[in-house]
Amino acid sequence: MKPFDFYNPTRIIFGTGTFARLGKEAARYGKKALLVKAAGPLAKMGVYAKAETLLSEAGLQVVALEGVAANPKLSSVREGIKLCQQQKLEVVVAVGGGSAIDCAKAIAVGAVDEGDVWDFFTGKRAAAKALPIGAVSTLAATGAEMSLHCVITNEAEKKKYATHFEVNYPKFSIIDPELHKTVPRFLTACGLCDAITHAGENYFIGDRNTPMTDRIAEGVILTVIESDKVLDEPDNLELRANHAWAAAIGINGLTDCGRGAFYYGAHTIEHAVSAHFDVAHGAGLAVVHPAWLAYLCEQDPARFAHFAGRIFGIKGKPAKEAGLAGIAALKAKYKSWGLPVTLKELKVPEDPATFEKIAADCLVDPDSGIKDKKIVLDVLARCK
Amino acid sequence: MKPFDFYNPTRIIFGTGTFARLGKEAARYGKKALLVKAAGPLAKMGVYAKAETLLSEAGLQVVALEGVAANPKLSSVREGIKLCQQQKLEVVVAVGGGSAIDCAKAIAVGAVDEGDVWDFFTGKRAAAKALPIGAVSTLAATGAEMSLHCVITNEAEKKKYATHFEVNYPKFSIIDPELHKTVPRFLTACGLCDAITHAGENYFIGDRNTPMTDRIAEGVILTVIESDKVLDEPDNLELRANHAWAAAIGINGLTDCGRGAFYYGAHTIEHAVSAHFDVAHGAGLAVVHPAWLAYLCEQDPARFAHFAGRIFGIKGKPAKEAGLAGIAALKAKYKSWGLPVTLKELKVPEDPATFEKIAADCLVDPDSGIKDKKIVLDVLARCK
């Protein structure tokens, strides 16, 4: 096991009915809140009206940032920062999925900074302070509610980059499965896939003597796979809860401890793809993740055989065969959930120029561990 | 899954060589430290001298509380509180196992309080503030380094009670396997057992739809069992690390999420036993835990069959038979590690008067979930 720091101070408030605690929890951190709202059906469903009522009843003055889209844009971040600075807002509350929460995180660091917020994403500067963040997670997927990660798309430059600042851990996050009931089937499937990939990236990277960390990661993947019945039973709050808690555990740091490496290759490639083609993150991962794993499997088949045994019960085969069977089983799951598993299905052109552009973008991503564009081209060629 | 809050803000600093970070980390929290030292061989090994050097080099003034024994005593707590109050100490640093850390936790709440610290343990009052705590864990066992729990023995009243205050989470805990190398075989075995019981108490209590939480608990138990080779390879830092990280995960809150109940019955009984007979906590648990599980198995054999399957691969038997086989396998592990598995081996008299006294103590323990002394008598009768 390699040395590590584990630190995650987010208070998770989990369970049906916990949305009601939003006001009281947010009031611990200030009197004036920016409410970051995701685009989509939540407004129509009355979720924002309820959030505003809860915050007001707790004595908070609320200023809203409307319409934060999937793959949240730098322009939304800048707009939120301006609102915070002009109106001296004290706490940022996100209600939505990973996009709203990530937007809130970027706003929170930008609001207390004099410079350009994009500098944090290009790696020019690190953030040491931020406004306090509260989140109400309405979608089980990115785990943004319990992570320090933040991914923003610079739509002008077609770049989708990540930051990882400790100050970006939400002070609290409410995960109320009741709010997940109306998530449509496709987005739920994207969320299942996203959660698996978080536990299934670093699992194959770094030190191999990490039995406790491995078992948590395997627990995430197994729990998410078991929860896939939610696709046919969208109102089943128990399945929603199981998916949501596994998604949060999958990227809260526990699945990385002791590996001594952080290398989210599938994410790097997916970010480059979705920066250009604005695909749903989970759908992009359903295509890229199995291809990335197939590439990695060439280098350490034994590790993939271990994975195949633990997750799919595949035993008694030569390592590489077992490993590839495990990856195929995972890809079959993604497909069975109605997710695309090829670039074609994702409507991403498969021509060399596009591949070159994506590969070049991966290499300049300051967060990327990929040092050779041939790796990206190899992985993209496997996305079929 | 039942609603829950999960909150654990302790920074874990893990790995060989991380002891060196003690001074810098502690200096974040004050200039004057109480150093809580465990009784035992650490002084002779130079661990305290090194801790004092590290703290001094970081600009801290150090006052020592010497000789905190296993089953830490209220008298040590009172002595530490007096030192903190008289000398206006700002941070409490524990170097040792769970006893030193628990003593530091009790001191930390008592030092900023006007009343009697024992009130917190009898449930008269709750603690809302505490001095910041830092810990260097020298023994993988109680998980005190990553928990809010604190257990203190009132030696005059022969009572061993627990508190669970959020303010008692250490600000940071250093887990350096290098410091665990010299832990003797018996204490290491006690630590293996203790870690398993933490994950293996609430596992059998409360809501049954907790697949993510279950898998973390199973991961702890499986990882600890695999790590038992450390008994024959005390210098193996990888095994020490695996044991230590599993022990910390086993009681940091993650193995309770969603169960909607907290019922550490084996611990309650063991606390009553060790309050009278001052046995090593892990050794007491090796006797009481399997007996407690055998009692619980009568009520829900299916759950124990699930446990037996996941941990020991026991399949294809009727539920009760499988469940009891799982408990027997666990008891056999404890025995194989050289731990006592009967009250007789623990040198606790098996007479009715002793049993009555232990049972009565369990019922008055303010932290106990046991409402009927017959349950305790039933469990004690199984401790053979």
Query: Least CB-CB distance to A1: which of B1, B5, B238?
Result: B238
- Going A317 to A323 to A282 to A100, the CA torsion angle's sign is positive
Please give the helix or strand (H or E) that residue A219 lies within, else none. Answer: helix A211-226
Question: Which pLDDT band, with edges at 50, 70 and 90, does B16 fall under?
Answer: very high
**Is the confidence metric ipTM above 0.95 for this complex?**
yes
Pick from B13, B32, B42: nearest CA to B93: B32
Predicted confidence (pLDDT) at residue A263 exceeds the cutoff of 90 = no
Which of B2, B8, B216 is closest, CB to CB, to A216? B216
Q: Give whole-number Cα distances, A291 to A17, A294, B65, B186, in Å.
A: 40, 5, 58, 49
Q: Nearest CB to B242: which of A13, A17, A211?
A: A211
Nearest CA in chain A to B7: A11
**Edge-to-edge strand ranges of the sheet holding A133-137:** A61-68, A32-38, A91-96, A133-137, A172-175, A11-14, B4-6
Residues from chain A contacting residue B11 (CB–CB below 8 Å): 5-7
Phi–psi pair at B202, nearest 5 degrees: -65, -15
Which segments of chain A belong to CATH 1.20.1090.10? 185-381
Nearest to A215 among B3, B215, B241 (CB): B215
- For B158: left if phi > 0, alpha if psi spans -120 to 50, otherwise beta; the answer is left
Q: Which among A8, A9, A223 is the nearest to B215, CB-wise?
A: A223
Per the CB < 8 Å rule, is B5 touching A14? yes
Give pLDDT tens digits for A150-198.
999 999 999 999 999 999 999 999 999 999 999 999 999 999 999 999 9
Would the pLDDT of B384 be above 90?
no
Q: What mean pLDDT value characterizes chain A? A: 97
Report the percentage of chain B scoring pLDDT > 70.
100
pLDDT in tens, A319-347: 999 999 999 999 999 999 999 999 999 99
CB B33 within 8 A of CB B95: no
What class does CATH assign to B11-179?
Answer: alpha beta
What is the average pLDDT across A107-124?
Answer: 97
**Is the predicted pLDDT of residue A250 greater than 90, yes or no?**
yes
For CATH 3.40.50.1970, list the domain ranges present in chain A: 11-179
Q: Which residues contact B251 (CB under 8 A, 6 or more apart)?
A: B142, B143, B146, B147, B149, B195, B198, B199
What average pLDDT score do residues A6-31 get? 98
Whether the predicted pLDDT of B213 surpasses 90: yes
In three-state secondary structure terms, A308 is helix
**B371 — phi, psi (to 5°)?**
-105, -5
Cβ of residue A246 closer than 8 Å to a chain B Cβ: yes
3-state secondary structure of B379: helix
A17 touches chain B (CB under 8 A): yes
Contact A257/B at CB under 8 A: yes
Strands B133-137, A4-6: parallel, antiparallel or unpaired by DSSP?
Answer: unpaired
Q: β-strand A159-164 against A149-154: which pairing, if any? A: antiparallel
Residue A384 has pLDDT above 90, yes or no: no
Contact call for B242 and A209, based on CB within 8 A: yes
Chain A CB within 8 Å of residue B6 CB: yes
List chain A residues with CB under 8 Å of B3.
Answer: 14-18
Q: At residue A278, does pLDDT exceed 90?
A: no
Confidence class for position B106, pLDDT limits 50, 70, 90? very high
Q: How many CB atoms lie within 10 A of CB A367?
A: 19
Check: CB of residue A27 under 8 Å from CB of residue A86.
no
pLDDT over threshold 90, residue A367: no
Angstrom CA distances, B233 to A101, A198, B96, stand at: 47, 34, 21
**Each residue of B87-102: pLDDT tens digit?**
999 999 999 999 999 9
pLDDT of residue A324: 98
Distance from C-alpha of A265 to C-alpha of A254, rounded to nearest angstrom = 18
Model confidence band, residue B354 (pLDDT cutoffs 50, 70, 90): very high
Yes or no, beta carbons of A11 and B5 under 8 Å apart: yes
* Tokens describing residue B134: 């830092």
Q: What is the pLDDT of residues B112-124, one digit of tens each?
A: 999 999 999 999 9
Q: Does domain A185-381 have CATH number 1.20.1090.10?
A: yes
Of the candidates A256, A264, A252, the one whose C-alpha atom is nearest the C-alpha of residue A207 is A256
Look at B257 and A245 and tell me if their CB atoms are within 8 Å.
yes
Which tokens belong to A105? Answer: 């995180």
Does B245 reach chain A within 8 Å, measured CB to CB?
yes
Q: Where are the alpha helices (DSSP H) in chain B?
A: 22-27, 47-57, 74-87, 98-110, 118-122, 185-199, 211-226, 237-249, 265-277, 281-297, 301-312, 319-336, 352-364, 373-381
Pick B1's closest partner by Cβ from A13, A241, A258: A241
Q: Kindly provide the b/e burial profile for residues B313-352, where b requires at least 16 CB atoms within 10 angstroms of the residue's own CB.
A: ebeeeebeebbbbbbebbbebbeebebbbebeebebeeee
Integer Cα distance of B237 and B177 in angstroms:
6
Contact assignment for B215 to A222 by CB distance below 8 Å: yes
Q: Which amino acid type is present at position B124? A: K
In B46-105, the residues whose Cβ lies within 8 Å of chain A are none
B255-279 tens-digit pLDDT? 999 999 888 999 999 999 999 998 9
**CB pair distance less than 8 Å for A212 and B12:** no
0.90 exceeded by pTM: yes
Contact of A318 with chain B, judged by CB distance below 8 Å, is answered with no
- The string of pLDDT tens digits covering residues B34-58 is 999 999 899 999 999 999 999 999 9
What per-residue confidence (pLDDT) applies to B263? 87
Instruction: Copy the structure tokens of residue A145.
Output: 């509610």
CA distance linking residue B156 with residue B74, whole number of Å: 9
What value does the mean pLDDT take over residues A132-153?
97
Give the separation between CA A74 and CA A85, rounded to whole angstroms: 16
Query: What is the DSSP code string of B342-363?
Result: STTTTT---SHHHHHHHHHHHH
